[in-house]
Amino acid sequence: MKIFKRDTQSQQTTRKSRQARRHVQRESFKLSINRKVVIFSGLVGFLTLLIMLLPKQDWLPIEKIRISGSFKHLDTQLLRTQLETYLGQGFFEIDIQNAQQQINRQSWIKTASVRRVWPNLLMVKVKEKQAYARWDENHLIDTDGNVFKADTQVFNQLPLIHGYQANSKQLLQRYKEMKERFDHQNIHLSAMQVDNKGALTLWLNNQLRVSLGSDNNDQKIHHMLAVYNQQIKSRSQHIQHIDFRYSNGFAIAWKAEYLKQSGQLQRGNKNV
């Protein structure tokens, strides 16, 4: 019995010794981890402070700007000048929304998108407006019905559409619908104008002016197309003006030289 008791005390002493060593090891491990955490936190804090103290333009400055898109009439020199201001600015400093707004102020630009490309590139994608018609001497109207400022001298071949600018989209649609009707008879609708009272005037084949007024325009156009081949087409070069603002017909104003040649100068216009 005494031997058994001595053995038990010896085992207990051994267990306590082992437990003490494990405890020391755990404490040492905790101290090692805590030391690493402190060092890492200090390093992060130092870098954060360093970044805060550095000027923003020093954070990955933009070194390249790339422009993509298909355009013919865009003022590329003005676009480059606008974009050059971003060279040298920090990657995160650039206000993308403001850059897009500035670029979109150019009259020929339909859409412009600006994005950063890591680590030092600014990518600009531009889409140019497509001119559909002339609006006046200083403006064009694009395929979406938007009026914009442009040099119209090189666009004389385009039709003229003019009216109240707030209705430009509706006017463009109206022109397209009428153009389709005239195209069926090989008549070129070269101009369309709506005045402030809503009165419609057309120019056909770049020479013949037709006044339709503000009422029943569809019916008047139908009437004109019905008589065009028999009564108007062959003599259109001699006609100065056709007036459809009558309830029961139309009037033709002949050119003075034609009336003189035909001996009708004193007779004046012809009502049909």
Rounded Cα–Cα distance for residues 39 and 66 (Å) = 42
Largest CA distance in the chain: 158
Parts of the chain with a pLDDT under 50: 1-7, 24, 29, 266-268
Distance CA 20, CA 59 (A): 53
In sequence order, which residues have a C-beta less than 8 Å from that of residue 102 and are 6 or more positions away?
82
d(CA 176, CA 172): 6
Task: Tell which CATH architecture fits domain 131-271.
Answer: 3-Layer(aba) Sandwich (3.40)
Query: Measured between alpha carbons, how far is 35 from 222 in angstroms, rounded to an integer?
Result: 93
Name the token pair of 236. Answer: 């259109």
Sheet with 121-128, strands from edge to edge, namely 64-68, 121-128, 109-117
pLDDT of residue 168: 97
- CA distance linking residue 131 with residue 99, whole number of Å: 25
Domains 58-128 and 131-271 belong to one CATH topology: no
Hey, which CATH number is domain 58-128, 3.40.47.10, 3.10.20.310, 1.10.30.50, 3.40.640.10? 3.10.20.310
Residue ranges per structural domain of the chain? 2-53, 58-128, 131-271
pLDDT at 175: 98
Q: What is the pLDDT of residue 18?
A: 58
Please report the pLDDT score of residue 2 as a whole number: 40
In the prediction, which pLDDT does 29 show? 47
Separation CA 47–CA 41 (nearest Å): 10
